[in-house]
Chains A and B, each alone.
Chain A
Amino acid sequence: MWRKVLPADVLRAYEDFSSRSLARIPSALERLIYIASTRDYNSGLYHHEGLAARFDPVAAAKALEYAHAEVFHEVSLMPLGKLSDELEKYMQSAKEEPLAFLTAWQKLEPYRVAIPMHVDPTVAELFVSNIKIALAVLRYRLPKEAGHQSGASLPPSPAPRSLPQFRS
């Protein structure tokens, strides 16, 4: 993939973030969700306590934005087989009832918050499209793997987990 030339301070912050935080997250989808969680929903600004303490806050925010765009492209252009596997792993790590997880993701489409602000619109469309298909794949696999054990009427667990905590 073509890489943008970053200013030196942003590059240092990006490399630090990649080696300290991102390297510990095994899948690209989880990395994407983690980076998206560092962005404020209201302002669209990125903030990471550890990174902002070690680097200039503006450079840290730009490093996060760049990392977000990079991982987003990686996930968007991922083959469906791999994406389905990563989504399944994420679903398992969320420790949520699989059927409840799939229903929430298909109806509420929370994955849309993982789309960076400035991104090629076709890539964003491809991302949404691929996640929809991967969810359909997981739903199809579900009855076979779960042996029809979970009822569709089960409500979500009372204390749903939020995004996994990877922060350093």
Chain B
Amino acid sequence: MIYLSIFAALVLFFALVMLVARSLYWEPDLNIAGPPGTDAAGRIDEANDAMSFEILLRAFGDDDQRFITALGDKHVERLLLFERKRIALRWIRRRSAEARSIMREHANRAREASDLTASGEARLAFRYMELLTLCEMLSLGVFLFGPAGLQKFAVQTNMALSEIKRFGNVGADTVTS
């Protein structure tokens, strides 16, 4: 019974921390439209993936932190941590939103599909849950410790999103073919 109470307390604690983390996140003051639409959607996706990965490397990498630590100014160190947390949380939010968008689109197409496989759908649902969990855990890690050192975790999240994209596209191809 006591273990159950401890477990429930931990769950509540992490839920509270997540709520605080979310409340501290704010929308950027930049009003940027994003890349213009094009008929070569695949090419844009490819570009976005490459760009997303480069942002990941920069936001979650520790090169910049090493440079600032060597500088030896606490104010700049705090500024770096604050800014990197902001960028990293924004990156996570966007990956999470992207996954939700893929799943929504997939669900719309799946309604009209005649040859859905239960195993394929279960696999996609499992990957989606895995990604959402990874995003929440990564957000918590970034909020508590900062993004530096969490690069492997971020790469894993990015890979989970790529898997969802692939599975989602396979589903879409099945529907359209």
**Majority secondary structure, B binding face:** helix
Closest to B64 in A: A80
Partner of A118, one of B34, B76, B80, B90: B34
Residue on A nearest B28 in the bound complex, by CB: A125
Bitwise interface map of B from 46 to 57 toward A, beta carbon under 8 Å scored 1, else 0: 111011101100
- Please determine whether B83 and A122 come into contact, CB atoms closer than 8 angstroms: no
Give the one of A112, A121, A132 with max B CB within 10 A.
A121
A80 touches B68 (CB 8 A): yes
Residues of B within 8 A of A79 (CB): 63-64, 67
Q: Tell me which of B34, B67, B79 contacts A120 (CB under 8 A).
A: B34
**Quick one: which of A60-75 are within 8 Å of B by CB?**
73
Q: Which range holds the interface residue count of chain A?
A: 20 to 34
Cβ contacts under 8 Å, B109 to chain A: none
Chain A residues with CB below 8 A from B21, complex form: none
The tally of CB-CB contacts under 8 A between chains A and B is: 93
Q: Is A100 an interface residue (CB 8 A)?
A: no
B87 proximal to A (CB < 8 A): yes
> B106 near A: Cβ within 8 Å?
no
Look across to chain B and name the residue whose beta carbon is closest to the beta carbon of A140: B73
The docked-state distance in angstroms from the alpha carbon of A120 to that of B58 is 15
Which of B36, B54, B91 counts the most chain A CB atoms within 10 A? B54
Docked Cα-Cα span, A1 to B46, in Å, equals 11
| Complex contact A115–B30 (CB within 8 A) | yes
Q: Does A163 contact B (CB under 8 A)?
A: no
Q: Does A45 make an interface contact (CB < 8 A)?
A: no
Decide: A73 near B86, CB < 8 A? Known: A120-B34, A126-B59, A136-B75. no
29 A–B contacts from the bound complex (CB under 8 Å): A73-B54, A77-B54, A77-B58, A80-B63, A80-B68, A81-B67, A112-B30, A115-B30, A115-B32, A118-B34, A119-B34, A119-B35, A120-B51, A120-B55, A121-B28, A121-B32, A122-B52, A122-B90, A122-B91, A123-B51, A124-B28, A125-B87, A126-B59, A126-B87, A128-B30, A133-B76, A133-B80, A137-B71, A140-B76
